[in-house]
Amino acid sequence: MPVKQEPNIYEELRERLRSARHVFALTGAGVSAESGVPTFRGGGDTTVWKGMPFDVISSAGMLARDLPAVWEWFDYRRGVLGHCQPNAAHTTLARWQDSFPRFTLVTQNVDGLHAAAGSRDVLELHGNAWRARCLGCGWREDVRHLDADERPPVCRACGEAMRPDVVLFGEMLPAGVFEEAAMRASECDLCFVVGTSAIVYPAAALPAEARRAGAYLVEVNPEPTPLSEICDMTIRGLAGEILPRLEF
């Protein structure tokens, strides 16, 4: 699929947006990177925290071995996130939720920037770094409401230890969230894939699900991805620059 960059491509997309009944958007790390959020691509010998690769400190195995160390890492990450603000891509998607009969926003990001921009009912495939979850009863709470000196935090519902409410390496997605996202993808007529390399499954299966259902598939990404070949339209560039141009 050739990349389309003609000036009238934006008007074509605006027309599709004007007539859409259900718009589905999947966002990935590229959207958050525009706000200064590190992408943290783990693996190999990349050292990111006290001599440990990202995929070690952010793993289910580390959670079982050293929960306080996992909390120390995520406290550090939240310290970074606390300086990041939503960008124009986040705010445009937040406005879209009131522009269509149905709108679904699914994200692979854990930074909470979509909610900070005003988006509601975001399907967070990989959880949220600003939440804690009880290892015992599953109770969830905003980390900012917990004692910062208590690590790991203690659940106020049952007294068990709490963990960061994010999907770690070696863990499954939260029950039900992917199934809900897949169902909505199968019901949309216009699908945007924004700032994601489309290689991490099962999230990468969502655009294919939309395409199988007959949706028009649009990719917004600075670089080609494995998804590019099946898209109806691919726009190369930063989401924060492209999405505002689609306002209608």
Which active-site residues does the annotation give? 126
HEC per residue, 138-161: CCEEEHHHCCCCCCCCECCCCCCE
Give the distance, in angstroms, between the CA of residue 199 and the centroid of all CA atoms in the same chain.
14
Take residue 193 and report the two structure tokens written for it.
């894939």
The C-alpha atoms of residue 222 and residue 219 are separated, in whole angstroms, by: 10
The C-alpha atoms of residue 17 and residue 208 are separated, in whole angstroms, by: 20
The C-alpha atoms of residue 63 and residue 148 are separated, in whole angstroms, by: 19
The maximal CA–CA distance of the chain, rounded, in angstroms, is: 59
